[in-house]
Chains A and B, each alone.
Chain A
Amino acid sequence: MSVELSSPDLKTDEMIINMGPQHPATHGVLRLILTLDGEICKHVEPVLGHLHRAQEWQGQNRTWFQYQALIDRVDYLSGMYTSWAMARAAEQIDGLVVPKRAEYLRVILSEMNRITSHLLWLGTYLIDLGAMFGFPFYPFREREKLFDLFEEVAGQRMMFNYIRIGGVLRNPPFGWFDKLKRFTDEFPDRIDEYEAIVTENPIFLKRTKGVGILKKETAMAYGVTGPCIRASGIPLDLRKTKPYSVYPELDFKVQTMDGDGDTWARYMCRIREMRESNEIIRQAIEKIPGGTTEELRKLLGTTGPEKDESKDLDPSFLLMAKKQNAGLRVKAGEGFAAVESPRGTIGCYVISNGSDKAYRFKWRNPSFCNLSVLPELLVGAPIADIMAIFGSIDVILPDVDR
């Protein structure tokens, strides 16, 4: 006797669920219109824009100097990178050469920012998988330490406004490099701690292995970048593939994963990237021209870290190649510059007409492009996996909606 499962008498209805914009696992205000058959997802339509703040319009209607302070909000978890992308675009158009010390400071601070961003992702991803209370707070412990360091150097914990067109804002205070060095020494142990809890956890493996497989070809067709595409096996990392700043002088590897590119691979890729970033910071501290702020002060014989703009200074010790004031202007021209943010290629297409405002701004946000592959991944997944997959892409809604 056989049972007809698809008999015409057995009528099942599809159910439409609005997941979000208020939902604990959509990381803000994404709305997914899910068509479910039982618990299996049949169709997904992401609805964006609940956090649209017209960042591009603001860029066109504010002066460069004003807009610099706003762009950290584009991707609030990695503000250094958004600033850096815009600064690079403007510098390219203007033909500025950024002093070496400033470039090193950019690298150090942005790699710190990469670690904080990945740490937050790690905690929230475990929440998405249902470990609501235990693990998620451990990464925040290290993140707080880094935020304290950010606060000391930039005056802000998340919206730094530290990387400016032509350089960086200021030298770190005395003792800052020592603290950072201590952090880099202890951080690998902390990652070991996280891995001890998570990486070999059987439930975690069950939930992530073989879930949300992103094939190379799909990833390339959708323009996916960052850890997502590196987990699928393509070594796209702008720090190596289109080297910028002082990354060629630093020794690090692009972390790619073999195999399927499932959510576990994306998790593992980020964990390895954190270790790699830690190494980059460690190297950059040693190679920075002028050394730590104390050493620089001794070298210059001046009275404070801010007094380093005297005439006879080695140009690589400078911080700024351009005067920062309200009349900041950029030459006419157009340019596209991108940096490798924790989420992927964050790019900025700028058309300048030589005035104090940009003529056209266009952000190329990694979250926006990575999110566009989501409907492809979700079809056929049960509700629980929607969270596992969506979380593993690591989108930031302000970055999607800008």
Chain B
Amino acid sequence: MTETPAPGNKPAEEPKELTAGPFGEFLREHGIASTRLPDSTGVETVLVEGKDLEAALKRLRNSQETELNYLVAVSGVEQADSFESVYHLWSYTNLKELVVKVRVAKSAVPEGKLPVVPSLANFWPAANWHERESYDLMGIRYSGHPYLRRILNPWDWEGHPLRRDYKQPVDSLNDKNPHSMR
């Protein structure tokens, strides 16, 4: 199985000259810094700092202008040099869409620790299980999550299976069965 290179990390694809879109403007009005990323198939994509995430999403969710009150999914993504937590925001009432990303550079993650992203679960229950799943499979720790426990894998599983450097323990699927066929 060949390793596929991460797409988002070629320097040419990180143009600095992208101007802020409507949601970027909205966030700046409320004092939250954001960086515009290349659109995700026509949907505005912004990058925010981890510490601003909760404030930004609260604004976007509650404000009359935006009403992005439908958290579709929280996805953990491993890029070549960073971990991303991706939030897809929709609206129950209008057609607006937004993708919010939080990046944690791999170099900023201490050895043997997990990258940390603030949790939304306390004020937005929809994020609860998605964050648990992202923690389980991608190994992103959501700080402040009320019950950050593995959700799809068994509770005593080791490692985070969707990471690129994950090696599956040979016997783990079979409860350390010596007669395992694997």
Contact = CB atoms under 8 A, between A and B. Distances in A.
Contacts of A345: 72
B125 A49 contact: no
B43 A353 contact: no
B70 A220 contact: yes
B139 to A, nearest CB: 14
B20 interface: no
Given A56-B162, A333-B41, A359 B4 contact: yes
B164 to A, nearest CB: 9
Given A223-B70, A349-B75, A334 B4 contact: no
A234 B91 CA distance: 12
Nearest to B157: A49
B88 A349 contact: yes
B152 A220 contact: no
Contacts, number: 103
A332 interface: yes
B151 interface: yes
B118 interface: no
B154 A49 contact: yes
B57 interface: no
A401 B136 CA distance: 12
Interface string A351-394: 11111010110101000110111001000000000000000000
A336 B43 contact: yes
Interface string A31-72: 000000000000000001100101011001100000000000
A356 B61 CA distance: 37
A345 B70 CA distance: 11
Contacts of A184: none
Interface stretch (B5-13, B25-33, B109-117): B5-13
A52 B1 CA distance: 22
B129 A368 contact: yes
Q: How large is the interface on B (under 10, 10 to 19, 20 to 34, 35 or more residues)?
A: 35 or more
B69 A220 contact: yes
Nearest to A335: B41
Interface of A is mostly: mixed
Contacts of B4: 60, 353, 355, 357, 359
B64 interface: no
Contacts of A222: 125-126
A365 to B, nearest CB: 9
Given A49-B153, A401-B152, A349 B126 contact: no
Contacts of A349: 73, 75, 86, 88
B72 A364 contact: yes
A109 B30 CA distance: 47
A335 B40 contact: yes
A57 B126 contact: no
A3 interface: no
B50 interface: no
Contact of A336 (B5, B41, B128, B153): B41
Interface string B99-130: 10000000000000000000000001110111
A115 interface: no
A347 interface: yes
A241 B88 contact: no
Interface in B31-73: 40-43, 69-73
B18 interface: no
Contacts of B75: 349, 360, 362
Contacts of B140: none
A360 B5 CA distance: 11
Nearest to B133: A368
B126 A221 contact: yes
A49 B151 contact: yes
30 contacts: A48-B151, A49-B150, A49-B154, A52-B152, A56-B162, A57-B162, A220-B69, A220-B92, A223-B70, A236-B92, A332-B7, A334-B8, A334-B40, A334-B41, A336-B41, A336-B43, A336-B73, A347-B72, A349-B75, A349-B86, A353-B6, A354-B7, A357-B4, A359-B7, A360-B78, A362-B86, A364-B72, A369-B129, A371-B129, A376-B125
Interface of B: 1, 4-8, 40-43, 69-73, 75, 77-78, 86, 88, 90, 92, 95, 99, 124-126, 128-130, 133, 137, 150-154, 161-162
Given A349-B86, A359-B7, 11 more contacts: A49-B151, A221-B125, A333-B41, A334-B8, A335-B40, A336-B73, A349-B73, A351-B7, A352-B7, A353-B6, A364-B88
What 3 pairs across the A-B complex have the smallest Cβ distances?
Answer: A223-B126, A335-B41, A353-B7
